[in-house]
Amino acid sequence: MPDINALPVEARSRQPRGAVKLGGVIVPHEAIEVENNAYRAADTFAVDFALNALPTAYGPAWFGSQSEILCEIFVSEDAPSPDNYQPVAADRLILGQVDDITFDPLAGTIHITGRDLTARLIDTKTSENFLNQTSSQIAQTLAARHGLTAQVTATTTRVGTYYSQNHSGLSQERSEWDLLVELAAYEDFDVYVRGETLYFQPKPTDSGERYVIQWQQPDSGAPESNTTQLQFDRSLTIAKGVVVTVRSWNAKSKRAFNASWPKAVKSTKPGQSGAATPLNYHYTIAGLTQDQATQRAKAIYEQIVQHMVRLSATLPGDMLLDCSMLVEVRGTGTAWDQTYYPDALRRSLSVDEGFRMSLTAKNISDTVENQT
pLDDT of residue 283: 86
- 135-145 vs 176-187: helix crossing angle, rounded to 10: 150
pLDDT of residue 12: 47
- DSSP letter at 368 equals S
Question: Between the CA of residue 281 and those of 247, 284, 298, 367, what are the distances in Å?
Answer: 11, 10, 12, 22
d(CA 277, CA 369): 16
pLDDT of residue 76: 92
pLDDT of residue 366: 62
Looking at residue 13, its amino acid is S
pLDDT of residue 100: 98
pLDDT of residue 368: 53
This model's pTM is above 0.85: no
Looking at 1.10.540.10, 2.30.300.10, 1.10.3210.10, 3.40.47.10, the CATH number of the domain 210-235+307-363 comes to: 2.30.300.10
| Sheet strands (E) in 8-142 | 17-22, 25-26, 31-37, 44-50, 70-76, 92-104, 109-116, 125-126
Q: Tens-digit pLDDT profile for the chain (372 aa)? A: 456 654 444 444 578 999 999 999 999 999 999 999 887 889 999 999 999 999 999 999 999 999 999 999 999 988 777 788 989 998 999 999 999 999 999 999 999 999 999 999 999 998 887 888 999 999 999 999 999 999 999 999 888 776 543 444 555 678 999 999 989 988 889 999 999 999 999 988 777 789 999 999 877 778 899 999 999 998 877 767 788 899 988 777 788 888 888 876 554 444 444 444 777 888 888 778 888 888 888 888 877 777 688 999 999 999 999 888 899 999 999 989 999 989 899 999 998 889 999 999 988 776 554 444
Domain map of the chain by residue range?
A: 3-117, 120-194, 210-235+307-363, 236-303
pLDDT of residue 275: 43
Region for residue 23 given its phi and psi (left: phi exceeds 0; alpha: psi -120 to 50; beta: otherwise): left
What phi and psi values does residue 67 have, to the nearest 5 degrees? -100, -20
User: Does domain 3-117 match CATH 2.40.10?
Assistant: yes
| Exposure on the CB side of residue 358, measured as CA atoms within 13 A | 10
Question: Between the CA of residue 49 and those of 20, 35, 60, 201, 291, what are the distances in Å?
Answer: 10, 18, 10, 38, 55
pLDDT of residue 301: 81
**H, E, C per residue of 250-301:** ECCCCEEEEEEECCCCCCCCCCCCCCCCCEEEEEECCCCCHHHHHHHHHHHH
d(CA 372, CA 298): 9
Burial track 59-78 (b if 16+ CB lie within 10 A, e otherwise): eeebbeeeeebebbbbbbbe
pLDDT of residue 3: 63
Distance of CA 10 to the CA centre of its chain: 29
